[in-house]
Structure 1
Amino acid sequence: MPDSVAAGALNHAIFRVARLHRMLAGQLLRRVGLHPGQELVMMQLWDRGPQRQTDLVRLLGSDAATMTRTVRRLENAGFVRRFPCATDKRVTIIEPTAASNALRAEVERVWLDLEAGATEGMTPERQAEAVEVLRSIEENLVRATSQQT
């Protein structure tokens, strides 16, 4: 680790892990025609059914511009369909297509492979501990973020 980041060793570790995790996710997701983050949108749609685009933003902690680009790319790939809400034409509803439903099992397999790659050699207890530590870090970062606004 560079001397300049020694005071923030945890920050450096999180950055490295997040970068490598996203890189592996990208490699695995390319096999099914998705990019990192798109699978999260699809998972929400598969599990919850058609959603307002604003709800996807909230559920995934995204921003409107990023979600718009993601949905547009998924629509161009044939994985989602956008249509105006029947009761409020200002609202856009996103729904999965039959083509995306056919991908569901493959995406779930990718997530299992990603998890296996990330936890190789770890006992189930160690994995549970890692999840708890990450959850605690996430809660702290959410709190710190909300204090900055």
Structure 2
Amino acid sequence: MQEPITTYLEESISLSLVRLYKAQHQQAEVRCQKIGLHTAQELVIFRLLEEDGLSQSHLAARLGVEIGTVAKTVQRMEKEGLLIRRQDAEDARISRVYLTEKGRRLGEPALHIWKDLDACLVQGMSQAEQLLFRRLLVQAAANFSRCSFSPADEHP
């Protein structure tokens, strides 16, 4: 006899990950709003604190997102005075992104948010469990990068 779908889903690692992502995202959103950021803007700030003046395409690559996503985020952050775009001195086709002082000042509070989220996430875990948890998450992400699904793989 086939296992009931609801039983499978409740025990599914994928559903647990979706729930974890939603909970983390919601907590990050609430906390980021308190310092005047929209979710994921802190990731742009973190990257530019490390490498200010990236082109939008390099920024997208470093963040692992589509160029269109970065373009929208950069545009919004520029309107909010968090960063500025300047044409590259050698190639006018390239737009480079720089943090403003306002954006730079949000780096520290945003990093505290991420540290608080991490602390909340691993609450009640030993140091060894935390290391194992992180290693397993990294391994799971690497597994997906090696998996490829095509329409031919779909079950009837």
Q: Give the TM-score normalised by the residue count of structure 1.
A: 0.91
> Which residue pairs with 1:68 in the alignment?
71
Is 1:14 matched up with 2:17? yes
1:3 to 2, 5, 13: 5
Q: Which runs of 4+ in 1 moved over 6 A?
A: none
> Which residue pairs with 1:41 in the alignment?
44
Is 1:50 matched up with 2:56? no
Is 1:90 matched up with 2:90? no
Q: Which amino acid aligns with 1:17?
A: L
More helix by share: 1
Report sequence identity in percent.
25
Matched residues, number? 146
Provide, for residues 57-93 of structure 1, a one-character-per-residue CA deviation record: whole Å limited to 9, x for no partner.
Answer: 1111100111111101111111110111111111110
Provide, for residues 3-53 of structure 1, a one-character-per-residue CA deviation record: whole Å limited to 9, x for no partner.
Answer: 347167011111111111111110111111112211111100001121110
Return the alpha-carbon distance in structure 1 between the equivalents of residues 57 and 132 of structure 2: 33
Q: Indicate the RMSD between aligned Cα atoms, in angstroms.
A: 1.7
For structure 2, list consecutive stretches of 5 or more residues without a partner in the other structure. Answer: 151-156
Q: Which amino acid aligns with 2:112?
A: R
SS of equivalent residue, structure 2 residue 96: strand
Q: Which amino acid aligns with 1:58?
A: A
Provide, for residues 98-131 of structure 1, a one-character-per-residue CA deviation record: whole Å limited to 9, x for no partner.
Answer: 1111112111111111111111111111111110
> Which residue pairs with 1:125 in the alignment?
128
Return the alpha-carbon distance in structure 2 between the equivalents of residues 5 and 58 of structure 1: 39
> Which residue pairs with 1:138 in the alignment?
141
Does the 8 A contact of 2:42 with 2:107 survive in 1? no
